[in-house]
Amino acid sequence: MNHRSKEKTLVLIKPDGVQRALIGEIIRRYERTGLKLVGLKFVIPTVEMVEKHYLIDDGWLESVGKKTKASYEKKGQKAPFDDPVEGGKWVLEKLKKFLSAGPVVAMVWQGNEAVGIVRKITGGTEPLSSDVGTIRGDLTLDSYPLADTDNRAVRNLIHASGNSEEAEKEIKIWFKENEIIKYRLVQETILYDVNLDSIKE
C-alpha cells in the first residue's frame, strides 16, 4: 500500500476562475497547506473530455441530482426535476457547455489526505452557502436559483475529486503517466520525517 503522504487528488480551475484572474490566488491557497503540486497543465477541454470526467463515477448522476433536490427542499422549494438521475443528466449538459467554454488549469496535488484537505479548502458546491474562508465561499457569488433560472451550470471556480478512487480515475483522463512529476520538496522533511535528525548543524 502507498504511504498516506502519497495520496493524490485532481483539481480543475474552471473557466470562471481563469477569467476572474484567480489562478495565482487559488494555487496559493492549496500550495501553502504543504500539499505538493505534481501535475499542472493549461487546456481547453472538449465536450467529450468533460462528459468522460463526470461519468467516470457510476453514482455521480444520481448523487448530483439528489444533492440539488435536497438544497431546493431545504429552502422549501421544489427542484426543476423529480428523478435524481434525470436531474444529474440535466446538470451534465450544462457542465459540458461551461467547462468547454475556455481554458482551465488542471492540477494534481499530493500529500496526506490530499482529497479531504483540498475539498475542505475548496468549500461546498454552491458559493452562496460555501463556508467563509473557502475558495468558493470567499471568491465568488453564484447560487442554484440564479444558475437554474438561466439554465446554466453553477459557477463555482473549482472541480476537486470527491474521494481517492474517483481521483485516480479522473487523473488518468487529464494526465499521462509521465506528466505526473516525481520529486522531493525540501518542506517534506518537516511535514513527514519521523526523526528530524537532519535539521541541526
Which pairs from 143-148 meet CB under 8 Å and 24+ separation? 144/68, 144/71, 144/72, 145/77, 147/94, 148/80
The C-alpha cell of 122 is what? 475548496
Residues 6+ apart with CB under 8 A from 64: 84, 87, 88, 91
Of the listed pieces 15-23, 33-41, 60-68, 177-185, which binds ligand UDP according to CB under 6 A?
A: 60-68
CB of 173 to Mg ion, least distance (A): 14
What does the DSSP 8-state code read for residue 31? H
| Catalytic (active site) residue 3 | no
Of the listed pieces 1-9, 29-37, 110-118, 149-157, which binds ligand UDP according to CB under 6 A?
A: 149-157
Select 80 or 162, whichever has its Cβ closest to Mg ion. 162
Please name the residue that has the C-alpha cell 483522463. Answer: 173
The C-alpha cell of 40 is what? 499542472
64 binds ligand UDP (CB under 6 A): yes
Per annotation, catalytic residue among 38, 159, 161, 174: 159
| Interacting residues toward Mg ion by CB under 5 A | 162
CB of 197 to ligand UDP, least distance (A): 41
91 binds, among ligand UDP, Mg ion, none (CB under 5 to 8 A by kind): ligand UDP
What SS3 state is found at 92? helix
